[in-house]
Amino acid sequence: MRTAIKLAYRNLIGAGLRTWLNVIVLSFSFVVIIWMKGILVGWDHQAKNDMIRWEIGGGQYWHKAYDPFDQFTLAEAHAALPAAFQTEIENGNLVPVLIAQGTIYPEGRMQSILIKGIDPGQNLLALPTQKLDTTPDAIPAIIGENMARTNKLKIGDRTTLRWRDAHGTFDASEICITAIFSTNVPTVDVAQVWIPLENMRSMLLMPGEATLLTIRNPETIRSGPGDWKLMTVNDLVADLEAMIKTKSVGQSIFYTILLLLALLAVFDTQVLSIFRRQKEIGTYVALGYTQREVVWLFTIEGAMHAVLAAVLAAAYGLPFLIWQARTGWKLPIETGDYGFAIAQTLYPVYSAGLVISTTLIVMLATAVVSYWPSRRIAKMNPTEALRGKLQ
């Protein structure tokens, strides 16, 4: 084995440019696969972290009728908070949110929105709700940058807000934008206006009610009482994970094509080698190798492309990957309209598992495409091979 590795190494290095071309292409595969997977892992981490900070905390209790994908459920998705929650709410460990449909009229245009009522004193979520305590002559409201941009709203702007109360009666009042926050989580930003919870309850005639409650500490999670159902963090990020998985499949296709191109180059080299190096194969047999050992030698030689590629990839790829992890990858298009949690700049995250699994996959694939054509050597007639006669 050691002899075969030594010989394979000498043969590869001796082959010069042909070897290095294959190695360079293969090293691209290493770096691109690790980088792309790192981006996805980084996005996954960032998106979950942002969702936890801005929206879902350590989990949520939802009113049993609440369906975030069906706004018509909002008319029913509210109830008085059970006594069991009161202490936790007072301690700030549960943050109730009341949600209703509404309409605003910025610059005279009608815009359907969700009105979300939240306690201005909460500190569980990153929303700047303390700014909801500031305006005496209108309902104070905070909105996200995306909402502000699409509706041309800025701090201090006033606009009319219309809603229907618990009895179905339309009512309206003026809101004043007291803060605009920047977030990567569109589900707290796009088409949403946050106002103080008590204002909202009195506007809707729903005293003491909420649509959902956000939990601070996931370790205190227990089944929700009565009309309230528990949604764990895993439940709440399931859609995001499914979407990242879909993206991951799309990216896999890209780097599989790249890897296949690199493997094709190795395969091609192996096939050519077996035709061009028949005399050499015969010589190995004459000097004491069995044909199976020559197959093994050629397989190691092919697979060693991946070893050299890993070394080369480490040489130029490591600085690149480290630089990317520090500076991130700025997406070339605006991400605010994507509809899912994604930052404008993604920071790749590389784990030892990612690097090891990528290296193993590339090495195994290279070994397979090296072995495949090399099997032909076992069927060669060594006396014909010695004369370099094509077989």
Return residues touching another protein (CB under 8 A). 3, 6-7, 10-11, 13-15, 279-280, 282-283, 285-293, 382-383, 386, 388
| Nearest residue (CB) to another protein, 288 versus 332 | 288
Q: How near is the Cβ of 383 to another protein at its closest, in Å?
A: 5
E strands, the chain, are 60-63, 79-80, 94-104, 111-118, 139-144, 158-164, 170-181, 192-196, 209-210, 212-215, 228-231, 329-330, 345-346
Q: Judge contact between 129 and 121, C-beta under 8 A.
A: yes
| Nearest residue (CB) to another protein, 126 versus 386 | 386
Q: How near is the Cβ of 286 to another protein at its closest, in Å?
A: 5
Looking at residue 209, its amino acid is: E
First-to-last CA distance in the chain? 27
Q: How near is the Cβ of 380 to another protein at its closest, in Å?
A: 11
Q: How near is the Cβ of 391 to another protein at its closest, in Å?
A: 14
Q: Is 205 left (phi over 0), alpha (psi -120 to 50) or beta?
A: left
Q: Is the dihedral of CA 182, 184, 118, 87 positive or negative?
A: negative
Inter-axis angle of helices 238-276 and 278-286, to 10 degrees? 80
Q: How near is the Cβ of 291 to another protein at its closest, in Å?
A: 7
How far is residue 197 from each of residues 90, 210, 325, measured CA to CA in Å?
14, 9, 40
| Nearest residue (CB) to another protein, 230 versus 386 | 386
CA 151 to centroid of chain Cα atoms: 29
Looking at residue 321, its amino acid is: L
Q: How near is the Cβ of 307 to another protein at its closest, in Å?
A: 18
Q: Judge contact between 236 and 59, C-beta under 8 A.
A: yes
CA angle 358, 362, 365 (to 5 degrees): 140
Q: Judge contact between 90 and 83, C-beta under 8 A.
A: no
Q: How near is the Cβ of 305 to another protein at its closest, in Å?
A: 15
Q: How near is the Cβ of 277 to another protein at its closest, in Å?
A: 9
> CB-based contacts of 331: which residues, under 8 Å, 6+ apart?
342, 344, 345, 346
CA dist 306 and 194 (Å) reads 55
How far is residue 141 from each of residues 48, 129, 130, 192, 382, measured CA to CA in Å?
26, 9, 11, 10, 86
| Nearest residue (CB) to another protein, 205 versus 286 | 286
Q: How near is the Cβ of 21 to another protein at its closest, in Å?
A: 16
